[in-house]
Amino acid sequence: MLASDSRSWVAEMQDHLEWERLLARVRARDRSALARAFSLIERDPDIWPAGWEPAGGHSFVVAVTGAPGAGKSTLLGALLGVVSQWDMSSSVVAFDPTSPRSGGALLGDRIRMLESASLPNVYVRSVAARDANTGTAALPALLALLETFGFDFIFLETVGGGQEATPLLSLADAVMLVVAPGLGDSVQLLKAGALELADLIVVNKVDRPGADELVRELSAYFRLIAPDPSLTPTIVRTVATERVGLEDVAEALRALRIRLEENGILAQRRSRRGTRYLEARVRSRCLRLLDEVLHAQHTAESTVGLQQRERTIYRNLAQRLASLADERDSECFDAR
């Protein structure tokens, strides 16, 4: 073995041991270790050991989506307090808009959860959502980490409620849609596709005009399309700023988990989650390689035509993908 190979092997073993020690502290519910591991994974999702994807167990993963202005963050912040009063733990991964200056999360969601975030059994983190696939790259590892810690609830708050939220919704056990009167009619919800994925609907700000009409429209829609009345999403009314209806939401979430477990839907969703994790991991790596190749091509001095430069990009990308495949082969061999 060459000296350089030996040093590389020793470094990998040291990294592995460090991760084992860090995860041991996470299993012991050490919040500082959890925060450290979360930051490392967010910076480099590949640092999470291969094959450690969450299988789904104790934690109930709920994606919270809805149009901007519906009150998702305020609702979640108040809901965390209710769950905490039940002696249950919860975590929120809030996908915030990206800062144009730093490239990080703008932390708008976490600001609205400051009061609940200080509770001992609540953990809130913001993740920058740069595009529709951002977050899904690191999310499998982050979910595995939070499940390792042993949270009862893991909430994933999306930036909006349209198609850009779909990759995150597909990685959850259940979807909670937050709507409010005055943000557009129910046809807009249908266009976004959110209603088709919702397991629980929270009509927030019901103290505003139009709330009753919105509830009636939603109820009529689900009566029309639901193949089985038992699968119709529960509709809960709230005024999050006044702490009205929050216990009903918490109870609805608890009942939803029981219902999904009893009819086998939860097991089906979790079995499909592995494939989605793999797709997210592969998509993220391929996009990262493509960005690197394009950046190298952009910075290189070249006098050749565009067609030749395009062929060069494809060849370089193919070489990088082949190297990545070789790395995965090596990992599989080492695992045996």
Number of domains in the chain: 3
Least Cα distance to 165 among 70, 231, 75, 256 occurs for 70
Is residue 147 included in any domain, yes or no? Answer: yes
Same domain membership, residue 111 and residue 149: yes
Same domain membership, residue 155 and residue 179: yes
Q: Which residue has the tokens 């609205």?
A: 112
Average pLDDT rounded to a whole number, residues 7-27 = 72
Is residue 61 included in any domain, yes or no? Answer: yes
Of the two residues 94 and 332, the one the predictor is more confident about is 94
pLDDT score for 262: 93
Same domain membership, residue 204 and residue 245: yes
Same domain membership, residue 108 and residue 22: no
Least Cα distance to 205 among 240, 230, 171 occurs for 240
Among 113-122, 207-216, 299-308, the least confident range: 299-308
pLDDT score for 54: 57
pLDDT score for 10: 46
CA–chain centroid gap for 249, Å, is 20
Same domain membership, residue 167 and residue 313: no
Average pLDDT rounded to a whole number, residues 52-78 = 84
**Interatomic CA distance for residues 243 and 217, integer angstroms:** 25
**Interatomic CA distance for residues 84 and 119, integer angstroms:** 8
Is residue 48 included in any domain, yes or no? Answer: no
**Interatomic CA distance for residues 66 and 311, integer angstroms:** 43
User: Domain span at residue 25?
Assistant: 1-43
pLDDT score for 190: 52
Cβ contact 120:184 at 8 Å: no
Cβ contact 153:253 at 8 Å: yes
Average pLDDT rounded to a whole number, residues 277-288 = 79
CATH code at position 123: 3.40.50.300
CA–chain centroid gap for 169, Å, is 7
**Interatomic CA distance for residues 13 and 66, integer angstroms:** 44
pLDDT at 7 over 80: no
Is residue 269 included in any domain, yes or no? Answer: no
Same domain membership, residue 280 and residue 189: no
Same domain membership, residue 305 and residue 237: no
Same domain membership, residue 153 and residue 117: yes
User: Which three-class secondary structure state does DSSP give residue 157?
Assistant: strand
Whether this prediction's pTM lies above 0.85 is answered by no
